[in-house]
Chain A
């Protein structure tokens, strides 16, 4: 909502002072100032000039030569790049020596051999409008000189004087949804007047009544009182083609509305000034002058003012004519059939109060909004302001030459309850942390038009009646907010409450940080791709295409939720390879979204940890898994060979912890890598962190360190390819028992000297007893039983 200082002052003349201070006061009221502009300051040396002749430039197509009369006698030649002027137009001329906004000084120039003694200006160049395309033609903006005519200034008149401009301040305010009143100049003035402590009053407006009673020609029936709380209608005859006055067009323009024609401008002006939207129907198109306000039937159709045919649904509010044909969508937009046209003579002017949820639902369903709908959705005023705004409308219409019928048709439906509300002083102070008495609270509330009278046993509380312009305000808490706003947030003493518990991270959160630190220590950089995928991404990654679909995606390339971190990581690797960084080590921790099982509404959302090692193979990924396993003390970690979707058929495995599947490790399927444009292998690890950290982990028991020297034994086995090294290690451990302190696979060899289909696995074994030095005989027996167990259990042979 934009407001002008000059306009505010028509409601509260006492508002004065430094515009920056007033802006601070507005912000402190909750009307955040998003922009402040000082307007109406036209640079010295810019004058009104009359166009005398227009001639082509002999040597330039895009420039014409303009002779203007600037009031100093001789014609002044100007080279001008705009072509929207006609001979006789009054235009702004920046004379040589004038300094425009931004510091541009106008000098005499020669353009392709032709002299230019000044510059004709656009509205944007003067800060008067946003229009930068053509020269500002002043004729439509000059102040009125009596009804119907505008005075044409003498050439040479300073522009500010010619336009009747004085300095003004324009504030662009952010108005919150709970402040329907502040969607008007009057509402902002009321708040600001209260904050700076000056008087506020709305002017009285009247128009000469014609003697014809409105009720003789128009009638309104509210069929559904839950839709329409009030319908106020006036009759105006003799619509003229007169344009609205220049001052009105200037204010509309300043507040961001485009002037259209007399009656539309009046409607918009009253809405901006008083917050009451209105709508004018062509009376000739209303059979019997009758209106019916009702809910739509499913499938009813209406062509709205914007020319679009819209299909209504059960529950939408409509205004229908005497034949019950819908001619307007309640509170949102009028219909094409009763639109004011060049032949319109008489109009029915509607000023109504619509049920906010009804308007909201329809506006949302039709995806149709308007300035009126914005106000009705927040809750317009249903009280005296309706009459005030109607009177203002009629007064302005009368100034355009229309005749206003006497009286009004005013029908009522269900209106919000405004019985007094008990407001407890102790409760207000208890919410705010203040120490205000009932008088202070009442004073704040009365300053913005609330009624507040002492109540309670000792008069320590208040009975408050909320004004009709505050639809959203109805509870004691709402009162606390008003009091806080007017008391000033800065005047509330700051205190710090203390939790009786110590703050902490949960075990899960601490372990997740540990996982991150291990992965960072392993040289992996943390990535955070967005969780959206294109429909084909899951299939491209070799995964089932069962991702949850977004119903309103921003673009088709991001319309599916990930079920695995794999596609996002591959995209990250691919991106970096395209940018000449082929070997990245990445990790990510984030949610995946699994389609919910039957009978469950929300997806399962496990948090996954993934590692992608570009240019590295499966064993590197398994090494990262080992590091994590050691850090988290995962019990019974198993790497169980098996194909995983998206992974290399013979280089992937399931990760099992304590007998439970928790993830996958290996290498990404080369076919998948090809689809993502990745060169070289990618080592891959993905763990369901929710499952891993939700399961047993982190249990460590102390074993005394032996004081006796260990005995080391190296063994190498020829192991068939079908036998897992894990199986060999299991056999070694089971044979070595408690005396086998360490097993370390130090070499895996495939190649010459070995039978086909087998490899050599070489282990360091360290034997140690807690209570003695093992004898050679003991070590020898242990060695032999290890060899025997491995060869018997796995079919491996000792390599000699």
Chain B
């Protein structure tokens, strides 16, 4: 056995021992120690490499290859040992960090928009999509805006039907809580020239005692269109388009003759229910020429239509509320349902 062969055989023995230790290593330190022992500066491997220098080229190549093979084998074994330990460490960490995600502490609680706001926003969005802008007006109004400009003179029997709530400003019965959103029609027509395509949502008031189906303060939305050549057919078509957009394409609409002092012809409009019956939704009609004149708009040049209905009722219908007073009770158990 030459000196070289002896050295190689010693290296092989040391390598085999180191491989055993790497396989059994239970810490990164043990891996590093085993590596250093075989591959380090004063190791058998270092000695072997040193001894290669004295060999003739042919033998040096063969012996060098053998040394490298041992080194590679040991490095691979060390890598495997490190990977095994890293895997074990990860597993241990996962196990130690195990959580029950159904323990829901400190939830992020989002608040809720009021049911009426939700309905109003949706209505506004549908009408905006149909080319309307949204306008608003004061809730305390004068008799001019609430009645007279709307063709309801002081003696008119219709005035009594509004159950108006008056306030102690001005002359008796001169200032009131608006009994409908129609005053906004007048304010809009006074403020801008046609063409006008607006909807006016807002709170309205009637001297109704609160019960399961009535509130003295409730919300309406009202639409007004004034343009050249507007007809009753346009009114019926617009209502139909709104009904389909808001309630769904299968819902139909119809108009029935009615009476409002500020529109003529006037109508109630109904929507179809799945069982084929009709549900009254609101009132509408062609803007009365006198109302246009009252706002300085020439009724021979411009024509218009208006429509209006209750927002609260839509909310009540949608969720089948059995008591409309829930809308103003502000019970958190109610508010958080929607």
Interface residues of A (CB under 8 A from B): 27-30, 32, 176-179, 356-358, 360-361, 364, 377-378, 430-434, 475, 477-478, 480-481, 484-485, 489-490, 492-506, 509, 513, 516, 519-532, 548-554, 558, 561, 572, 575-576, 579, 581, 584-587, 590-591, 593, 596, 601-603, 605
Contact = CB atoms under 8 A, between A and B. Distances in A.
Contacts of B153: 357
Contacts of A605: 138-140
A496 B231 CA distance: 10
23 contacts: A30-B257, A30-B259, A177-B158, A431-B232, A431-B303, A434-B233, A480-B286, A489-B254, A494-B237, A496-B238, A501-B133, A503-B132, A525-B332, A526-B112, A527-B330, A530-B216, A549-B167, A551-B168, A552-B166, A558-B216, A576-B330, A587-B111, A602-B169
B227 interface: yes
Given A492-B233, A497-B225, A532 B217 contact: yes
Given A503-B127, A551-B167, A596-B169, A430 B231 contact: yes
Q: Which 7 A-B pairs have the closest CB atoms?
A: A433-B233, A30-B257, A433-B231, A176-B259, A499-B131, A494-B237, A357-B155
A494 B113 contact: no
A489 B267 contact: yes
Given A499-B131, A561-B167, A602 B207 contact: no
Given A477-B286, A502-B131, A561-B140, 5 more contacts: A357-B153, A492-B233, A523-B109, A526-B335, A550-B177
A497 B227 contact: yes
Contacts of A500: 195
Contact of B175 (A504, A528, A601): A601
B32 to A, nearest CB: 34
A749 B116 CA distance: 44
Nearest to A600: B169
A27 B142 contact: no
Interface string B247-271: 0000000111111010011111000
Nearest to A362: B155
Interface in B198-248: 203, 207-209, 215-217, 225, 227, 229-234, 236-238, 240-241
A141 to B, nearest CB: 36
Contacts of A579: 331, 333
A529 B217 CA distance: 9
Nearest to B268: A32
A530 B332 contact: no
B68 interface: no
A496 B157 contact: no
B232 A178 contact: no
B134 to A, nearest CB: 5
A502 B241 CA distance: 17
Contact of B328 (A480, A497, A501, A529): A529
A792 to B, nearest CB: 42
A526 B153 CA distance: 39
A526 B264 contact: no
A549 B168 CA distance: 6
B172 interface: yes
Given A28-B256, A481-B264, A530-B328, A548 B168 contact: yes
B128 A529 contact: no
Interface of B: 108-114, 116-117, 121, 124, 127-134, 136, 138-142, 153-161, 165-170, 172, 174-175, 177, 195, 197, 203, 207-209, 215-217, 225, 227, 229-234, 236-238, 240-241, 254-259, 261, 264-268, 286, 288-289, 303, 327-333, 335-336
A503 B125 CA distance: 9
B149 to A, nearest CB: 15
A495 B233 contact: yes
A29 B111 CA distance: 49
B249 to A, nearest CB: 15
Contacts of B237: 494-497
A509 B134 contact: yes
B175 A602 contact: yes
B142 A602 contact: yes
B265 to A, nearest CB: 4
Contact of A602 (B108, B138, B155): B138
Residue from B136, B141, B142, B167 whose CB has the most chain A CB atoms within 10 Å: B167
B316 to A, nearest CB: 14
A297 B293 CA distance: 37
A509 B120 CA distance: 12
Nearest to B328: A530
Nearest to B153: A357
A522 B111 contact: yes
A522 B124 CA distance: 24
Contacts of A561: 140, 167
Contacts of A550: 165-168, 177
B126 to A, nearest CB: 10
Contact of A492 (B158, B177, B203, B232): B232
A431 B233 CA distance: 9
B134 A523 contact: no
Nearest to A361: B155
A431 B286 contact: yes
Given A558-B216, A602-B140, A521 B111 contact: yes
Contacts of B161: 177
Contacts of A431: 231-232, 265, 286, 303
B111 A526 contact: yes
A493 B233 contact: yes
A358 B153 CA distance: 12
Given A532-B217, A550-B165, A520 B113 contact: yes
A28 B264 contact: no
A485 B268 CA distance: 12
Nearest to B135: A506
Given A432-B232, A528-B116, A360 B168 contact: no
Contacts of A548: 140, 167-169
B218 to A, nearest CB: 9
Given A506-B134, A549-B167, A591 B139 contact: yes
A530 B209 CA distance: 13
Contacts of A575: 329-331
A355 B159 CA distance: 17
Contacts of A495: 231, 233-234, 237
Contacts of A358: 155
Q: Which of B121, B129, B257, B288 has the most CB of A within 10 A?
A: B257
Contacts of B254: 489-490
B236 A489 contact: yes
Contact of B156 (A360, A502, A576): A360
A31 to B, nearest CB: 8
Given A576-B331, A586-B330, A32 B256 contact: yes
A492 B132 CA distance: 24
A358 B117 CA distance: 44
B152 to A, nearest CB: 10
Contacts of B225: 497, 499
Contact of A484 (B232, B234, B288, B330): B232
Given A492-B233, A572-B330, A581-B333, A532 B117 contact: no
B197 A521 contact: no
B17 to A, nearest CB: 50
B110 A520 contact: yes
Nearest to A526: B114
Contacts of B329: 575
Contacts of A532: 216-217
A763 to B, nearest CB: 27
A601 B170 contact: yes
A551 B172 contact: yes
Contacts of B169: 548, 596, 601-603
Contacts of A603: 140, 169
B217 to A, nearest CB: 4
A603 B169 CA distance: 9
Given A526-B111, A526-B112, A489 B257 contact: yes
Nearest to B202: A591
A484 B257 contact: yes
